[in-house]
Amino acid sequence: QVQLVESGGGLVQAGDSLRLSCAASGRTFSSYVMGWFRQAPGKERELVAAITWTGSSTYYTDSVKGRFTISRDNAKNTVYLKMNSLKPEDTAVYYCAATNDGSKWLGLDYDYWGQGTQVTVSS
């Protein structure tokens, strides 16, 4: 089992950058595929980015390609989401999630979730 704690959210202006961090407990962090999800008011939760165990493969939803970068540091049990050129439509609660089932990495049914961090982008 793994516990996840996100940090780094906040209120920024359009065009600004933020870096979200997700710290994981436990000694088996490298066995988990990690994902960043977001949910805006009135909208369904969506997978924003995901990264495999060693970081060799990544996924981005189309709306963030070229602006967001997911990375991980297995020595620090941490996954990051660097967000550049933020837009008002990026406003949402961002969640970190983990699964040790590789078949789930592009889906929504990750096994472990953080509490979320609010990102608000003003125009």
User: Which pair of structure tokens corresponds to residue 51?
Assistant: 């990264």
Query: HSE-up of 35 (CA within 13 Å, CB side)?
Result: 26
- pLDDT at 1 (0 to 100): 85
- pLDDT at 110 (0 to 100): 97
- pLDDT at 89 (0 to 100): 97
Q: What are the pLDDT tens digits along the chain (123 aa)?
A: 899 999 999 999 999 999 999 999 977 899 999 999 999 999 999 999 999 999 999 999 999 999 999 999 999 999 999 999 999 999 999 999 999 999 999 999 999 999 999 999 999
- pLDDT at 105 (0 to 100): 93
- pLDDT at 27 (0 to 100): 74
Counting beta carbons within 10 angstroms of the beta carbon of residue 26, is it exposed (0 to 12), middle (13 to 18) or buried (19 or more)? Answer: middle
